[in-house]
Amino acid sequence: MPPIKDVACPQCGARVPWTPASKFRPFCSERCKLIDLGAWASESYRIPLAQPAESDELPGAPPGDPPPSGRRGD
Ligand SMILES: [Zn+2]
């Protein structure tokens, strides 16, 4: 078995084993990942579209959806 490589979490410096089990690698946890992504996003990616969650009642489909055609009487 090859030795497990580990990396330092970019956020807190904790050792993170580089294995598929470490879901958030190179971060040690989801928390560190979110912190880092958040910092990166706010620094480099200024998203001007800060739209409020106003229309969260989007209908999945328009109510007047026609039934699928192709119904033929036998
Ligand atoms: Zn960390």
User: Which residue ranges make up each domain of the chain?
Assistant: 6-44
CA of 49 to the centre of ligand 1 (A): 30
Distant-in-sequence, close-in-space partners of 17: CB < 8 Å, separation ≥ 6: 4, 5, 6, 25
CA of 48 to the centre of ligand 1 (A): 29
CA of 8 to the centre of ligand 1 (A): 8
* pLDDT per position as a tens digit, 30-53: 999 999 888 777 766 555 655 666
Higher pLDDT, 18 or 45: 18
For the residues 3-17, what does the mean pLDDT come to? 93
Residue 62 sits at φ, ψ, to 5 deg, of: -60, 145
CA of 46 to the centre of ligand 1 (A): 25
Taking 80 as the threshold, does the pLDDT of residue 17 lie above it? yes
Give the side-chain half-sphere CA count within 13 A for 59.
5
| 6-44: CATH class | alpha beta
Mean pLDDT of the chain: 79
Query: What is d(CA 38, CA 17) in angstroms, rounded to the nearest whole number?
Result: 23
